[in-house]
Amino acid sequence: MAKKSRGKKYDAAYLKAVEEIDKDRVNEIKLMVKSLLEAIVQAERDRRKLDEKLAFLKADLEDIRHGRIEKLKKRREEDKQGSALSPVKPAELEKLETYYRTLTQIPMPITTSATIWGSATSGNFTLNDGSVVTVSDKSDANANDSDLRFGR
């Protein structure tokens, strides 16, 4: 049995009400999508900043491991924001440079100074949170991120 219409005005009002409800639902969904997109964009910005910080810190580590203190200091002078990210402060860099210069200028076999520096910049390091990071003792130009192993 076919449904009996209550009149054109009623049908038009009903359709208009349904359209309003649909429009409200669409707007509500759009607000949800917008808030998710804003969160994603913010997370991407945060990740970019973290990636930059990580790259800066890894470059510092590699420069220290390879005795490139001058290069490290130059990068710090050029990038003041990046310099603020590092836990190694300028006074400590001066001390580090002195240690390295002393090692390389004292008359001893080159292998001895390299061994001393290598043992100081590689091995197992227990961090404050109890995790252990192993830094490979590779002292060649092929050293990279894979030379860091993280454990608990």
Sheet with 148-151: strands ordered across: 123-126, 132-135, 148-151
Each domain of the chain, given as residue ranges in start order, spans 8-137
Rounded CA gap, 36 and 18, in Å? 27
**Burial status of residue 65 (CB atoms within 10 A of its CB: 0-12, 13-18, 19 or more):** buried
60 contacts: CB under 8 Å, gap ≥ 6: 72, 75, 86, 88
83 contacts: CB under 8 Å, gap ≥ 6: 76, 77, 90
pLDDT tens track of the chain, all 152 residues? 455 656 777 788 888 888 899 999 999 999 999 999 999 999 999 999 999 999 999 999 999 888 888 898 888 888 888 778 889 888 888 888 888 877 777 666 555 666 777 888 888 889 999 889 998 876 544 545 556 777 65
